[in-house]
């Protein structure tokens, strides 16, 4: 499948090859047994940890706080954040993924009491240039796919309002992650399409911390995410998957 989004060809954090790859998966994004089943499996943990480390969805005056779910795909996390009460903007550079997200939302309306959810096809650079600001930002399994992780974090820092928080989940660049998240998941168990990840682009916690500091942020909390028979759970083991809370100093 060829991707023709103008946003995917533009400069900045968006990688045309990455967007094309995920666009091919868009129609089955919401299939828990499909190519995105690892995201479905870990989504409950990602969301629960994020909600515990982001500002409350509603402030003391009853106003819904705004949340940017960047690299949202077809909206697994976006819908969950809206159900929690945030006013959510789901941003992705893949028009196919955004179309799938809108289609799912149209046919599976959020329950009463949820916050609004609006999808947008575009890049972080476009949103930042418009002066958009958010109370909370989630970047889940995204930073390892962008062209310049440090510049990406700097943009997100610019879009974060004072007192806000950013949650990032990604994969550590270790021999264990090469064996499990790359070779095992893609080539042996076929949990993900081959080529989903590039191991050299995985980011160590130390690198994330250094990039955060350059962006005017710091890691306030960090945890590993590990699979088990009872589902994914939080762990001190950062060797493969991990999630971090970033705040301003």
Banded model confidence at residue 1, pLDDT cuts 50, 70, 90: very low
What CATH number is attached to the domain comprising 92? Answer: 3.40.50.150
User: Does 49 map to a domain?
Assistant: yes
Cα-flanking dihedrals φ and ψ of residue 248, to 5°? Answer: -80, 145
Domain count, the chain: 1
User: Does 219 map to a domain?
Assistant: yes
Binding site feature residues for S-adenosyl-L-methionine: 46, 71, 92, 140
User: Does 192 map to a domain?
Assistant: no
Query: What local confidence, expressed as pLDDT, does residue 11 receive?
Result: 41
User: Does 56 map to a domain?
Assistant: yes
- CB distance 59 to 65 below 8 Å: yes
Average of pLDDT values for 106-128? 97
Binding site feature residues: 46, 71, 92, 140
Among 17-21, 103-107, 224-228, whose mean pLDDT is lowest? 17-21
pTM here is 0.90
User: Does 193 map to a domain?
Assistant: no
User: Does 33 map to a domain?
Assistant: yes
Banded model confidence at residue 7, pLDDT cuts 50, 70, 90: very low
Banded model confidence at residue 179, pLDDT cuts 50, 70, 90: confident
Residue 15: domain span? 6-170+203-248
Query: What local confidence, expressed as pLDDT, does residue 50 receive?
Result: 98
Average of pLDDT values for 160-184? 89
The whole-chain average pLDDT of the chain stands at 89
SS3 24: coil
Query: What local confidence, expressed as pLDDT, does residue 5 receive?
Result: 34
> CA 245 to CA 53: how far, in whole Å?
6
Query: What local confidence, expressed as pLDDT, does residue 249 receive?
Result: 75
């Amino acid at each position: 499948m060829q991707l023709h989004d103008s946003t995917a060809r533009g400069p900045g954090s968006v990688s045309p090859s990455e967007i094309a790859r995920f666009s091919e998966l868009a129609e089955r994004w919401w299939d828990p047994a499909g190519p995105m089943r690892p995201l479905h499996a870990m989504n409950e943990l990602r969301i629960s940890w994020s909600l515990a480390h982001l500002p409350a969805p509603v402030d003391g005056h009853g106003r819904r706080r705004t949340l940017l779910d960047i690299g949202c795909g077809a909206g697994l996390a976006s819908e969950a954040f809206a159900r929690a009460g945030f006013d959510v903007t789901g941003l992705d550079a893949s028009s196919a993924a955004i179309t799938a997200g809108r289609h799912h939302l149209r046919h599976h309306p959020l329950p009463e009491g949820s916050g609004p959810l609006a999808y947008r096809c575009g890049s972080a650079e476009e949103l930042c240039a418009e002066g958009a600001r958010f109370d909370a930002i989630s970047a889940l399994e995204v930073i390892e796919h962008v062209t310049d992780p440090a510049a990406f974090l700097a943009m997100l820092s610019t879009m974060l309002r004072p007192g806000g928080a950013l949650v990032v989940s990604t994969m550590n660049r270790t021999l264990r992650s090469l064996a499990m998240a790359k070779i095992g998941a893609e080539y042996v168990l076929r949990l993900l399409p081959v080529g989903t990840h590039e191991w050299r682009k995985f980011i160590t916690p130390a690198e994330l911390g250094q990039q955060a500091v350059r962006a005017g942020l710091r890691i306030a909390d960090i945890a590993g995410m590990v699979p088990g028979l009872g589902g994914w759970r939080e762990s001190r083991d950062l060797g493969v998957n991990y999630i971090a809370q970033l705040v301003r100093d």
